[in-house]
A and B are shown apart, each in its own frame.
Chain A
Amino acid sequence: MIRHLHRLVPQPGLLLRLGALTAVQAVLQGLLLGSLIPILRALLRPEPDFGAAAPWLVAAAAGLVVYGVLTVIATPVGFAASSDLAGQLRRRLIDHSASLPLGWFTPEHKARLARATTADAANIGNLAVSIGGPAITATLTPLTIIGVTVAVDWRVALLFAVIMPVALLALRRAGRIASIADVELEQAAADIAGRAIELGQAQPVLRAAGQSSTGTARMREALDEHRTVYRRGLRRSMAPDLTYTGVIMAGFVAILVVSALLLLDGTLGVAEVVALLVLAVRFLEPLGNLVELIGALHAMDNAVGRVRALLATPPLPEADRPVTELPGTSVELSGVTFTYPGGSTPALAGVSFTCAPGSTTAIVGPSGSGKTTVTRLIARFFDPQEGSIRIGGVDVRELDQRTLLDSIAVVFQDVYLFDDTIEENLRLAKPDATDAELAEAARAARLDEVVERLPEGWHTRVGEGGSRLSGGERQRVSIARAFLKQARIVLIDEAASALDPENERAVSQAIARLAADRGRTVLVIAHRPATLDAADHVLTLHNGHVAEAGTPAGLRATGGLFARLYDQYDHARSWRLDRESATEVG
């Protein structure tokens, strides 16, 4: 655990200082308790001999003062170490995620990243301090006490020395079993969470079926299952928990027995036996309290594991001597085969095609045919397993990341905007753009109408993720960015679902303007007949293979897959719901 933590934190300065302070305190605590032996020896006489105890008392008093001062010093260090640790983890996580391929950012991974940077980092910061201290104390203080005891009676010291490792082993075992039970319980809880979501979402269906008050049979099963798992986990972790308490209790009893024997056979003075008894109690108590740390330790273990897993994700490989100048704007795929991480069938298999500089290529195909994968690979969200992708003749893997991303603009199907003004969102593409440039880009992307309509114009905040704009309007922002950035290669994923008519027209027009510039190579995943008709070249994908390639008109004439899809798109746009077309279920 400490090793893992050490690897996570590049500059453990504060944490080490806190650890050192705590360690000194722990040893001091052991010594102070040890000082009871000579003190009690001097005082536990029919007539207490304060003279003999005096030097020890002075030393103990000094030790206590030092202990107090150390506590005052260590307290703010604890706070600072906790927030410093969390801050370091957070920055490392964000820095590392910036080096990951874009393809890594699936919703699941994004949620994991968010959890790691917030809850996990905070918990590690807090727990490292709140567990670390007691853990150090609970180890070093008993060790010191054992050392002190050796000087008085080796037999008792031996007894202490036996109790400690046995207790720690029992503690570890208890922790391990508790985490197994926890994992099971977490699964059962996740099942309930899923059922709860279902209960919320499918409520009308459940009610129609008269199951609203009971939930589905599976809901009831999930609840019962949770109870069963819970009870089973409890039974299982109870034994090791009790074993630990048992070890401590047995240690206590053993000390009582040994003390009684030593007392009765007279090998040790009464004062020594009494002093050892007092010491024994103080030896056992911190050990016993360790059981309270199991839960926290386990939580810490999990959090550290999650953060480590994230930091272990390999970044996108960088070329040794990257090409920083893009020699041209052609896009060429040759023999590209790519399977998504964790996938079994390739999303693209042996795909080859070339987009001439300045041309517009439309990619079509049924859903799942690999259209989006093509654009993702060009933008290097992922690297293909076989084949290569060249831009201007240079393999994208040889290209400098910056150069690649500077020359490419990607217009996603679902555009994410930052919760900032619309101007700032646009300026991302070119921070030093003049107002005239902004206005020009907005006009070209037909964003100007949107800006005009907004209450505060360019200064209107777009809301979280851009929620105050419609999907079509967000796409127009994204296209305006491509204009502003003067990207030489533009990849567009045309909104597949129906936009409202006004947006649809505006987006189509904006795409057409992007394509019209002969200095720009455009690849568009198209769903609209208008966009398809306007393309120079069409590429039809099917199951990860190139099925057809040619001009739109030429391919329509062949009556192949493209022709079929074209008709389907056309049909979808003219479909109407009426009684004549309604067909009885036969």
Chain B
Amino acid sequence: MTITDSRPTTPKPEPATERPSAAAAGLARTGALARLLAPVRAHLVGCAVLSALATAAGFVPYVAVAEIATLALAGGYSPSAIWGWVALGAAGAGLRLVLVFASSRLGHYADARTLHDLRVRMVRHLGSLPLGWFRANGSASVKKRMTNDLEEMHQLIAHALGELVGATTAVALGLFYLASVNPVMTLVTAGSLALLGISYRIAMRSMTLHMNRLLAAESRISAASVEYADGIGVVKAFGTGGRVLERFGEAVREQAAALAAWADETRYSTAASRLLASEMALLGILGAAGLALVHAGQLSMTELLPFLVVGIGLPTSINPAIHGTQTLRKGRVCAQNIEALLGMEPLPEPSRPLSPEGSRLELDRVTFSYDGHTDAVRDVSAVCEPGTITALVGPSGAGKSTMASLIPRFYDVTGGAIRLGGVDVRDMAASTLLSSMSLVFQDVMLLRDTVTENLRIGNPGATDDEVRAAARAAQIHDVIERLPDGYNTVLGDGGGLSGGERQRLTIARAILSRAPIVVLDEATASLDPDSETAVHSALSRLIAGKTVIVIAHRLHTIAGADQILVLEDGRLVERGTHHDLIEAGGRYARMWAAQQNGDPA
């Protein structure tokens, strides 16, 4: 029994939005794999054939040993016959080397190509999914699909395939050859292999059950150690790790107990399968049976020899097949994941895209539901005239962010329509729609590229001077100049810039893009006051002359807006200017009063 694949899985459950369920995955299993590998099928078949041939060639030296022994025992051999077998054995060995090389080459070629092509396909497909999918699933899930899942496919294509074919060929050829020597002994050999298979199955019968318990224990260990590390400050400050360490210790003990329970239950079947998989068991079985037959005069010693040379080695050649099957199983699941991603419905693109005229934004009885039951936004109508500021306010969960995310079509409305410049956003090309607006959110969207490229992506034709002007307007020019390579510094993870500086870079990009609409969602909420001031002046530059949609918690920041839309439970409950709403003495006025009270400023 192998216990090597008990790697802990990520404790985080898969997001529920990916449609094909685990149950469905059980059905069309090989289908997904076969379809994904279709483009390299010829290579894979070639790789398999070569791998089988390599095994066959590698078999020849064994046969040569057996035949030389047979000749020697028969007596009266000619030296040339002996040398002939030596030459044949050597040729087989040489050929095996060449074939292994070729097969491996082909397998890896197919592998490199598959990985590359699948990644390109995934990138392309991701580009057509609703933007909301990225919000719901996070970029970590994109990463998992593009790296971990493909890594399993790589194991499958580059290694498991050859292992499986090689092992199968080795066993088949071995039995075939032995059968030509003596059928009865071959039956004994096949019988012990069958026994090995049976005991392996028995040992593995309860694997799913135990594996689940083991994986659960491992993910608890993982969770406890993450919790421990994250809360280390508290653990140390208060002396005892107490419950946390207890939880960790418990999880470790549970893991050991789970493994012990498994080992205990399958104690004899596992030992039996390990024993039967050893050369010694075959030596014993074949030796005993063979000598009994020799003793009874039904087998000659000469006939027994091939079984000692070839037969004994058969179980060890099965081992790679067991490993290969495990990889195949994992590969199928991953293929399923990848296909599920590739099969996800893209955001519908209009067949004849229209272009907006002007930047008047119209919300026409907009309704949206994430789950199809409860509406996150309901029946909201409003007009944002070009060059005006519209603020969305309301308690958290009121639907402000959802409303804002419908404008760039992160999701499509489930009722009503959003029109930009008189055109329904669903009738525009995604690039037209998105290039007409700048999105400035809390989570900063930077590319791992140079500063210049990060700014210029919003306006590829911009000159260097324009890029610098935008950076100056966003109060970030000086910071960029201080970077090691100035504007040519490549921004990595973090990139040495603070949150506020990164935010200012995205604002500079927005300024450079000159998109007529600006959507701000709590853009400064997570910044410290130093950066906040700088970001504020950057924002003031950005919004000049633009149609602005802004979401704010702190009401004083939007008190100067042209219109304020107050949302509650997805509905529009009040609208007007700050002055109107205060006068009206409704929901907004109450919120304002509460904040004024709480705000020491």
Per-residue interface assignment for chain B, residues 13 to 49, with 1 indicating a CB less than 8 Å from any chain A CB and 0 otherwise: 0000000000000000000000000000000000000
Choose from A198, A223, A281 the contact partner of B62 (Cβ within 8 Å).
A281
Could you tell me the distance between the alpha carbons of A408 and B82 in the complex, rounded to whole angstroms?
Answer: 87
Could you tell me the distance between the alpha carbons of A424 and B12 in the complex, rounded to whole angstroms?
Answer: 24
Q: Which B residues are CB-close (under 8 A) to A572?
A: 529, 532-533, 536
Could you tell me the distance between the alpha carbons of A424 and B8 in the complex, rounded to whole angstroms?
Answer: 29
Q: How far is the CB of A515 from chain B (nearest CB, A)?
A: 15
**Among A4-12, A115-123, A160-168, the stretch in contact with B:** A115-123
**Among B100-108, B185-193, B352-360, B368-376, the stretch in contact with A:** B100-108
Q: Which A residues are CB-close (under 8 A) to B530?
A: 366-367, 565, 568
Does A59 sit at the interface, judged by CB under 8 A? no
B217-259, CB < 8 A from A: 218, 221-222, 225-245, 248-249, 252-253, 255-256, 259
Per-residue interface assignment for chain B, residues 502 to 527, with 1 indicating a CB less than 8 Å from any chain A CB and 0 otherwise: 00000001010101000010001111
Per-residue interface assignment for chain A, residues 67 to 83, with 1 indicating a CB less than 8 Å from any chain B CB and 0 otherwise: 11001100110011011
**Among B330-338, B414-422, B442-450, the stretch in contact with A:** B442-450
Choose from B222, B260, B271, B430 the contact partner of A71 (Cβ within 8 Å).
B271
Does B65 sit at the interface, judged by CB under 8 A? yes
Could you tell me the distance between the alpha carbons of A297 and B516 in the complex, rounded to whole angstroms?
Answer: 59
A500-550, CB < 8 A from B: 500-502, 504-505, 508, 527-530
A431-449, CB < 8 A from B: 431
Choose from A50, A71, A270, A577 the contact partner of B557 (Cβ within 8 Å).
A577
Asked if residues A206 and B460 are in contact (CB atoms below 8 Å), the reply is: no
Asked if residues B128 and A497 are in contact (CB atoms below 8 Å), the reply is: no
**Among A149-157, A213-221, A332-340, A349-357, the stretch in contact with B:** A213-221
Q: Which A residues are CB-close (under 8 A) to B284?
A: 61, 64
Does A52 sit at the interface, judged by CB under 8 A? no
Overall SS of chain B's interface = helix
Choose from A212, A285, A409 the contact partner of B430 (Cβ within 8 Å).
A212
Does A169 sit at the interface, judged by CB under 8 A? no
Contacts A208-B513, A527-B529, A580-B560; A117 near B540 (Cβ below 8 A): no
Asked if residues A585 and B544 are in contact (CB atoms below 8 Å), the reply is: yes
11 chain-A/chain-B pairs, Cβ below 8 angstroms: A79-B3, A113-B225, A118-B218, A197-B140, A212-B127, A216-B449, A253-B61, A281-B62, A292-B319, A418-B234, A583-B540
Q: How far is the CB of B304 from chain A (nearest CB, A)?
A: 9
Q: Which A residues are CB-close (under 8 A) to B554?
A: 498, 501
Asked if residues B234 and A571 are in contact (CB atoms below 8 Å), the reply is: no
Does A180 sit at the interface, judged by CB under 8 A? no
Choose from A33, A102, A565, A578 the contact partner of B560 (Cβ within 8 Å).
A578
Choose from B140, B236, B243, B445 the contact partner of A102 (Cβ within 8 Å).
B236
Choose from B90, B239, B268, B553 the contact partner of A72 (Cβ within 8 Å).
B268
Asked if residues B4 and A296 are in contact (CB atoms below 8 Å), the reply is: yes
Asked if residues A79 and B259 are in contact (CB atoms below 8 Å), the reply is: yes
Does B295 sit at the interface, judged by CB under 8 A? yes
Could you tell me the distance between the alpha carbons of A200 and B141 in the complex, rounded to whole angstroms?
Answer: 9
Could you tell me the distance between the alpha carbons of A496 and B527 in the complex, rounded to whole angstroms?
Answer: 7
Q: How far is the CB of B388 from chain A (nearest CB, A)?
A: 8
Per-residue interface assignment for chain A, residues 259 to 297, with 1 indicating a CB less than 8 Å from any chain B CB and 0 otherwise: 110011000001001100110111001100100100010
Contacts A205-B447, A209-B457, A242-B97; A83 near B231 (Cβ below 8 A): no
Asked if residues B69 and A90 are in contact (CB atoms below 8 Å), the reply is: no
Could you tell me the distance between the alpha carbons of A378 and B308 in the complex, rounded to whole angstroms?
Answer: 75
Could you tell me the distance between the alpha carbons of A199 and B123 in the complex, rounded to whole angstroms?
Answer: 8
Does B365 sit at the interface, judged by CB under 8 A? no
> Which 9 interchain pairs have the tightest Cβ spacing?
A578-B560, A200-B139, A212-B127, A496-B528, A501-B598, A208-B434, A79-B263, A249-B93, A200-B142
Asked if residues A428 and B234 are in contact (CB atoms below 8 Å), the reply is: yes
Contacts A226-B116, A501-B554, A579-B562; A127 near B4 (Cβ below 8 A): yes
Per-residue interface assignment for chain A, residues 184 to 206, with 1 indicating a CB less than 8 Å from any chain B CB and 0 otherwise: 00000100111111111111111
Q: Which A residues are CB-close (under 8 A) to B131?
A: 203-204, 207
**Among A227-235, A390-398, A453-461, the stretch in contact with B:** A227-235
Could you tell me the distance between the alpha carbons of A219 and B120 in the complex, rounded to whole angstroms?
Answer: 9
Could you tell me the distance between the alpha carbons of A202 and B540 in the complex, rounded to whole angstroms?
Answer: 24
A381-437, CB < 8 A from B: 402, 405-406, 408-410, 412, 416-420, 424, 428-429, 431
Could you tell me the distance between the alpha carbons of A244 and B337 in the complex, rounded to whole angstroms?
Answer: 37
